[in-house]
Structure 1
């Protein structure tokens, strides 16, 4: 299995670099159209989605694919890739440098590997999360090839907690940290994995927003807390995940759950 994981990592390096270079050349020059959920889509999202799906078909023909812009039904394949071709499309259309390309690899409906490239700031994150899969595979989480871990710091006014645009009602209650809003769901929680933030919340992430980072942040030692009672994974074969949101809290350590979880419950009431 080691050769397989080398192939997976190498594939992600190459395809995200190619797509990232293309998107950098288009940054801030394309207009977006609003989708039914209020998010934006551009011709670049569609190009990126098509290019990545085509590359997966060529490299891993037995693998299934679920992507934001094309296929929302979870397929009947042991291995499945979940693609977010541009995470942070609004940032991208406005010419802001913070947006990413996200690839999650699932085994029997559960993410075991994730890869996220943030092209403009040259940060590539990846991680392996064995969980209960029983797979013989590497372990750990990395940024630009260097191992990353969550922060061990106590809360303070000089530490960060990240919100998304749909969770600002959290601010009705004092938060024991500085608030940041990054506009990119994956990067929101990846900052927890790399030790830059103590936690982050996403009120309405779709499955393509969380599949890759599910593996990365847990491999870095973070605690993932779904804010609804139903478990997120394993995904169910044949289910349409296009309109389903998964409210999520991620914190650096379990002892931070009682600090931040009461503050974010308002987003699912």
Structure 2
């Protein structure tokens, strides 16, 4: 992933402040989620007014509450930054250097059913490039909830700062005795197609974090929204793994969420993340 950008507005103190705030906001989401888990939540489904059979996009009362809290804190900490989130229709205006992309609960269907795979995702873009990610995940490599987080400067290349979990550097080395790794897929498949065993978690953010942590060798998403993967893409960059985006010319290196004329909040495209070898096989056979 090569994203050459002018980073004249960035310095180490600013990036540290942004990452610290992103971690705080992701943890806030996790705290609200854990407090509500198991309760009698109010749940509605997007698009149900137009189609009474549409039950694919649930939203709980917690989703809206968490995003409201995040927006309030960001307006205090970084009033000149813009924000795009899943639960509000407001979209960033063109011309903002910094945009926060927030998914208060990624994996809401899992959450409302008590299936323990969901996340609260916070990503920060600098001129379309994912530079900071903080993902509170309901479980982790350590078998406990926590925040995967990282800063990936646009000028430093992949793997610039590494991924941390709850503030500690994450050092995960795959076991060489394991000859078939795992890959996150949007649909469960009874018949393995690629050189890994497919897994469907129901949360793009969880899968991004697990790819960055080395738990999944790769993952791909059919058409995520920007808030689903913005934080995760920053983790992928910081981990040294790669990302592809599919366009009319096939699978190409991911080059940011928007060009100079595009609206970042409107981005949606097929993407794949993972090790170079896994992505080469995937792009060749998909």
Q: Tell me the TM-score range normalised by the shorter chain.
A: 0.7 to 0.9
Taking the TM superposition and a 5 Å limit, the aligned residue runs for 1:77-226 are 77-119=96-138, 121-132=144-155, 139-148=161-170, 158-164=180-186, 167-168=187-188, 174-226=193-245
Inter-CA distance 242–41: structure 2 relative to 1 (3 Å threshold): farther
DSSP-derived class of the 1:140 partner:
coil
CA RMSD of superposed structures (Å): 2.8
Distance in structure 1 (CA, Å) of the matches to 2:246 and 2:120? 25
- Among 78, 88, 111, the residue aligned to 1:70: 88
Q: Is the 8 A contact 2:136 2:148 kept in 1?
A: yes
Q: Provide runs of 4+ in structure 1 moved above 3 Å.
A: 148-158, 170-173, 229-232, 236-244
- Among 26, 32, 45, the residue aligned to 2:43: 32
Structure 2 residue runs without a partner (length 5+): 1-10, 48-53
Say whether residues 1:48 and 2:71 are aligned partners: no
TM-superposition CA deviations, 1:113-154 (whole Å, max 9, x none): 1111115632211122223489xxx72222222333676677
Q: When you count helix as a share of all residues, which structure comes out higher?
A: 1
**CA shift for structure 1 position 73:** 2.5
Structure 1 residue runs without a partner (length 5+): none
Say whether residues 1:59 and 2:77 are aligned partners: yes
When normalised by structure 1's length, the TM-score is 0.83
Aligned residue pairs, count: 257
Deviates most, 232-241 or 179-188: 232-241
When normalised by structure 2's length, the TM-score is 0.78
Distance in structure 1 (CA, Å) of the matches to 2:284 and 2:58? 31
**CA shift for structure 1 position 159:** 1.8
Structure-1 residue corresponding to 2:4:
none
**CA shift for structure 1 position 104:** 0.8
Distance in structure 1 (CA, Å) of the matches to 2:210 and 2:183? 10
